[in-house]
Amino acid sequence: MASQISTPLPDKVKAPTPMMAQYLSVKESHPDSLLFYRMGDFYEMFFEDAEIAAAILGIALTKRGKNQGEDIPMCGVPVHAVDAYMARLIKAGHRVAVCEQTESPEAQKQRGAKGPLKRDVVRVMTPGTLTEDDLLEPRAHNFLAALGRSGAGQALAWADMSTGDFFVEDLSHDGASDDNGANIGLEDVIVRLTPSELIVPQGQDCTHWPWADELCITEQAPSMFDSSLGTQALQAFFGVSSLDGYGDFSRAMLSAAGALLGYIEATQIGNMPRLQPLQAIAHNVYLDIDPATRRSLELTRTLAGERKGSLLHAVDRSMTAAGSRMLGARLAAPLCDLAAIVARQDLVSWFIENEATMTAMRDKLRALPDMQRAVTRLTMGHGGPRDLAALETGLRIAETVVGLIRQPQMSQPQTNQNGTNALITTMPARMEALLEMLVAPLALADKLAPALADELPFLARDGGFVRLGYDQGLDDVRQLRDESRRLMAALQARYAEETEIASLKIKHNNVLGYHVDVRATHADKLMQSELFIHRQTTAQTVRFTTTELAEMERDMAAAAGKALARELEIFEALTAAVAACASAIGEAATALAELDVAGGSAVLARDAQFVRPDMRDAAIFEIEKGRHPVIEMMLPAQTPFIPNDCKLGADGDDAAAIWLLTGPNMAGKSTFLRQNAHIIILAQAGLFVPADRAVIGIVDRLFSRVGASDDLAKGRSTFMVEMVETAAILNRATPRSFVILDEIGRGTATYDGLAIAWATLEHLHDVNQCRTLFATHYHELTHLQQAKARLLCHSMQVREWQGDIVFLHRVIAGAADRSYGVHVARLAGLPYKVLGRAEQILAELEAGKHGAVDVGQVADNLPLFDYRSDDRGFGVPAGAVRPSAVLESIDAMLPDTLTPRAAMDLLYELKAMRAKDKDDHK
Ligand SMILES: Nc1ncnc2c1ncn2[C@@H]1O[C@H](COP(=O)(O)OP(=O)(O)OP(=O)(O)O)[C@@H](O)[C@H]1O
């Protein structure tokens, strides 16, 4: 989806009004965005912008004035509901430039100018630069990414403006492009992050990117990607004279990060968000998961793009949106570093052992506001009093959490999963670090608490959010304002008394301001009075003003204005206090998210029997009673999930590294393959796994080819896609990798497919030497067990029962003897005739198995219509069995000659014959 739209303006708007002249000049500098031009309580759009927006938003397209004799199309949206409209336009791939009034009428007066007040674009909204809660998904990151280049090097920088995360990764390492020159590294990272928007230099050829249609790509001037300018911009932004303290950055990385910063500056018109120090991601920090594997494993989204049904959805027990975001990021980028994984596991173990603390902490976290996003909004000037309150609440919760974790646990003896008394283990080092992060910004809560009232407006400019007693100056002007109100009430009483009109009221509206309001029947009395000045007559009432009232209104407005001005000063001061410790708050929010993820994982371990995997630095994989985390949770309560073991690359060189899995369709092969891939992902994300016991050697690259689909957009058939992906596996898998292959070679002619599967298996065994699970329907491959020392055959257990098969979903040693494909086809509801015919052909082919099969002869011997179907639908060769009595009776029957009574008798007769037939078949 390209965001580049151009909404050309009419060549010349003849003699535009001053307002239209201003609109046109602003629009000229933002030709690629829809311009939201602020007019009072509305944002208005004109010309083609109006036509585009009205069509997308389904709002009325009207007109305002004329241009060269033609009406100027116009539409508008109310300011208070702008977020919802904005979200729809951005989702439709548009950018929105928000143009606001930038001076007050007083300032204009001082300038001695006339005409429309100054207006300018204060922000350009694009998919990757959103910070408003209403425009963001709470439980997902919203990344903006930039592709940088320098010479042959390339790098990707990404940031979530709403949370302040800022990273860069060099993509120039070995293997960053395949034999066809495709950017494997870039695609890997893009699919891992799924950014909302990618910035590229103008002229970048995106046509060969398979994922280009799925995200918004924004072109920017090549000069923005200059690495030297990027370095300067980064140094200036972080206020440092060198970036050395942040890490080692290649020129491509600086180009990417600099361009990203430049784009944020351009869209936010200099109003920069808070960003964490730029962090370089080393290429081998994360488990390498290629895009096809990532998609097929449905880690954070299903193939249909849904969160429900994904691995993340199945294991997410987070109490907060920030926890869910962190968990999603961890599943998308599992670690390769043993110590870092163990550090994450230690936190989970600690919570399991200190269950009461975990429960109490989770209870507190339930009310935790999204602190990261609140800080960003405040520091960018879009925040309000409720964001301040959110921070105060968040920091108080942080304080409580620190107390809960630090408090001695001995008071409540606990029982852990194994039924033994829990060990109160020493606090993990990471926990200590997290507590320190939580404590750092706590002083801010003490600053915010006394300032904020109980009921808070959404916007600071609505006033009334500063607590009484917080600021003497404010209290004084408020008193003045309230005093005026009291005086106004007294005035009303006096006028009522003097005029003897008991129903006389002093009211307020936006047009007249304060006025005296009497029923029409009393109007004459006031009309004759010199005191009352007539302002308006309506059907029911007549309205007046008085000099006294006008003066009082002026005093009141002045007091209210002063009170609001003071409140806004206080808001600014509090926002500045927040900004001063923004990074500390950011870190505290991250620490709470990390505790939330660990607590959630502990709950999952307790409630769904997940265990801590024993992580090793070796090519080992031992899973006892492993389960598929997603399918297990989706099965109906009465259907238990059948756990299965998997043992690969155990100690000793000759231990099996490859399991060759055979078995019928629907027996559970794919489920078994995927569950082991999920176990690896969960383990390396630092989480617990669905098994009774797990020993897992760190995997460097995970490949999973389970199921395939056409890539018709790129002109590649299913088989071609499968071969491209297999090529990537054979070229890239190392002895530390883990490969999962399901039915490779099935998309082509039998012998070609078998030959490819055979050669692939040999290559994996002899050359890649990686841990492999290989499911196939080519039973011939099981012969390889004799020739390949590290290959073991396994199969899915099936039981035959009354001519049917029952899938036991159990993996057992040894090869399967047959496929039962025709049985499965029957379950799927293939017509009986076709099933019968398939059985016949299968019998013939199997009969010729040991000699050469003459398929031509099979076809001659078994012409499609020369067979009968037995009454269960399974074909039997013609003549082999006498047609059943039921069928013979039907053949002999002459319906036209039957009386109703005879027809009824015949029906009973047929029913009886059928029952006898059934008995005969038992
Ligand atoms: N271990 C298990 N316990 C319970 N149910 C299972 C188990 N494994 C699989 N199933 C059920 O069986 C269904 C079929 O499983 P799966 O798709 O893995 O079979 P398959 O052998 O790969 O079939 P095919 O060869 O047709 O792709 C699953 O959707 C699930 O409902």
Q: What is the pLDDT of residues 557-581, one digit of tens each?
A: 888 888 899 999 999 999 999 999 8
pLDDT reading at 796 higher than 80: yes
The stretch 20-36 carries a mean pLDDT of: 90
pLDDT number for residue 919: 66
Binding site membership of 810 for ligand 1 (Cβ less than 6 Å): no
Binding site membership of 194 for ligand 1 (Cβ less than 6 Å): no
The stretch 799-824 carries a mean pLDDT of: 77
Task: Give the residue ranges of the annotated binding site for ATP.
Answer: 663-670
What is the whole-number distance in angstroms between the Cα of residue 601 and the centre of ligand 1?
Answer: 26
The stretch 647-659 carries a mean pLDDT of: 73
Q: What is the pLDDT of residues 349-392, one digit of tens each?
A: 999 999 999 999 999 999 999 898 899 889 888 889 999 999 99
pLDDT number for residue 922: 53
Of 326-330, 438-442, 869-873, 888-892, the poorest mean pLDDT is in 869-873
Of 70-79, 89-98, 710-719, the poorest mean pLDDT is in 710-719
pLDDT reading at 59 higher than 60: yes
Within 8 A by CB and 6+ apart from 39, the residues are 76
Ligand 1: which residue has its CA nearest to atom 14? 666
Binding site membership of 666 for ligand 1 (Cβ less than 6 Å): yes
Binding site membership of 675 for ligand 1 (Cβ less than 6 Å): no
CB 672 within 8 A of CB 623: no
Q: What is the pLDDT of residues 255-306, one digit of tens each?
A: 999 999 999 998 988 788 888 889 888 777 899 888 888 888 999 888 888 8
pLDDT number for residue 573: 94
| Inter-CA distances, 604 with 431, 608, 623, Å | 19, 5, 18
Binding site membership of 706 for ligand 1 (Cβ less than 6 Å): no
Binding site membership of 641 for ligand 1 (Cβ less than 6 Å): yes
Of 102-116, 428-442, 860-874, the poorest mean pLDDT is in 860-874
Give CA 407 to chain center in angstroms. 36
Average pLDDT, the chain: 83
What is the whole-number distance in angstroms between the Cα of residue 308 and the centre of ligand 1?
Answer: 19
Please give the full DSSP string across 453-500, using - where no structure is assigned: -SS--SSGGG---BPTTS-HHHHHHHHHHHHHHHHHHHHHHHHHHHHT
The length of the chain, given as a count of residues: 922
Read off the pLDDT band of 867 (50, 70, 90). Answer: very low
Q: Which two tokens stand for residue 407?
A: 């408090």
What is the whole-number distance in angstroms between the Cα of residue 672 and the centre of ligand 1?
Answer: 8
pLDDT number for residue 858: 47
Pocket test residue of 645, 646, 670, 808 for ligand 1, highest count of atoms within 8 A of CB: 670
Percent of the chain with pLDDT over 90: 38
Binding site membership of 669 for ligand 1 (Cβ less than 6 Å): yes
| Alpha-carbon gap, residue 570 to 561, rounded angstroms | 14
Ligand 1: which residue has its CA nearest to atom 10? 668
pLDDT number for residue 136: 75
What is the whole-number distance in angstroms between the Cα of residue 781 and the centre of ligand 1?
Answer: 22
pLDDT number for residue 708: 52
Measured from the CA of 640, which atom of ligand 1 is nearest? 4
Helix (H) or strand (E) holding 648: strand 644-648
Q: For residues 893 and 186, which has the higher predicted lDDT (pLDDT)?
A: 186
Ligand 1: which residue has its CA nearest to atom 26? 665
The stretch 108-123 carries a mean pLDDT of: 84
Residue whose token pair is 């852990």: 416
pLDDT reading at 659 higher than 80: yes
Read off the pLDDT band of 556 (50, 70, 90). Answer: confident
Measured from the CA of 796, which atom of ligand 1 is nearest? 21
| Angle between helices 582-608 and 371-379 in degrees, nearest 10 | 160
| DSSP class of 690 | S
Measured from the CA of 777, which atom of ligand 1 is nearest? 25
Binding site membership of 795 for ligand 1 (Cβ less than 6 Å): no
Ligand 1: which residue has its CA nearest to atom 8? 668
Count the neighbouring beta carbons within 10 Å of the beta carbon of residue 371.
Answer: 27
Q: What is the pLDDT of residues 419-431, one digit of tens each?
A: 444 444 688 999 9
Read off the pLDDT band of 802 (50, 70, 90). Answer: low
Read off the pLDDT band of 4 (50, 70, 90). Answer: very low
pLDDT reading at 314 higher than 60: yes
Binding site membership of 196 for ligand 1 (Cβ less than 6 Å): no
pLDDT reading at 880 higher than 60: no
Pocket test residue of 796, 809, 820 for ligand 1, highest count of atoms within 8 A of CB: 809
Binding site membership of 176 for ligand 1 (Cβ less than 6 Å): no
pLDDT number for residue 774: 93
What is the whole-number distance in angstroms between the Cα of residue 808 and the centre of ligand 1?
Answer: 10
Give the CA-trace dihedral at 364, 367, 368, 373, to 10 degrees: 170
| Beta strands 867-869; 875-877: pairing state | antiparallel
pLDDT reading at 886 higher than 80: no
What is the whole-number distance in angstroms between the Cα of residue 666 and the centre of ligand 1?
Answer: 5
pLDDT reading at 494 higher than 60: yes
The stretch 816-831 carries a mean pLDDT of: 73
Read off the pLDDT band of 747 (50, 70, 90). Answer: low
Question: What b/e sequence results for 653-678 when a residue is b if at least 16 CB atoms lie within 10 Å of its CB, and e otherwise?
Answer: eeebbbbbbbbbbbbbbbbbbbbbbb
Max CA distance (Å), the chain: 123
Binding site membership of 610 for ligand 1 (Cβ less than 6 Å): no
pLDDT number for residue 263: 94
Please give the full DSSP string across 339-388, using - where no structure is assigned: HHHHHHHHHHHHHHHTHHHHHHHHHHHTT---HHHHHHHHHTT---HHHH
pLDDT number for residue 389: 94
What is the whole-number distance in angstroms between the Cα of residue 671 and the centre of ligand 1?
Answer: 5
| Residue 208 phi, psi (nearest 5) | -90, 5
The stretch 474-478 carries a mean pLDDT of: 88
Most confident of 426-440, 453-467, 723-737, 860-874: 426-440
What is the whole-number distance in angstroms between the Cα of residue 584 and the centre of ligand 1?
Answer: 49
pLDDT number for residue 901: 80
pLDDT reading at 801 higher than 80: no
Ligand 1: which residue has its CA nearest to atom 16? 668
| Residue 43 phi, psi (nearest 5) | -100, 130
Binding site membership of 797 for ligand 1 (Cβ less than 6 Å): no
What is the whole-number distance in angstroms between the Cα of residue 644 and the centre of ligand 1?
Answer: 12
Binding site membership of 671 for ligand 1 (Cβ less than 6 Å): yes
Binding site membership of 349 for ligand 1 (Cβ less than 6 Å): no
| Alpha-carbon gap, residue 325 to 299, rounded angstroms | 13
Read off the pLDDT band of 755 (50, 70, 90). Answer: confident
pLDDT number for residue 874: 40
pLDDT number for residue 178: 44
Give CA 877 to chain center in angstroms. 57
Of 36-50, 249-263, 669-683, 850-864, the poorest mean pLDDT is in 850-864
The stretch 655-661 carries a mean pLDDT of: 85
What is the whole-number distance in angstroms between the Cα of residue 636 and the centre of ligand 1?
Answer: 14
Question: What b/e sequence results for 198-229 when a residue is b if at least 16 CB atoms lie within 10 Å of its CB, and e otherwise?
Answer: bbbbeebeeeebeebeebbbbbbeeebbbbeb
pLDDT number for residue 860: 47
pLDDT reading at 878 higher than 60: no
pLDDT number for residue 6: 45
Pocket test residue of 635, 661, 665, 666 for ligand 1, highest count of atoms within 8 A of CB: 666
pLDDT number for residue 697: 95
pLDDT number for residue 3: 44
Binding site membership of 665 for ligand 1 (Cβ less than 6 Å): yes
Q: Which two tokens stand for residue 187?
A: 């695609």
pLDDT number for residue 418: 47
What is the whole-number distance in angstroms between the Cα of residue 670 and the centre of ligand 1?
Answer: 6
pLDDT number for residue 14: 59
Measured from the CA of 674, which atom of ligand 1 is nearest? 18
CA angle 387, 393, 396 (to 5 degrees): 140
Q: Which residues are paired to 742 by β-bridges?
A: 775
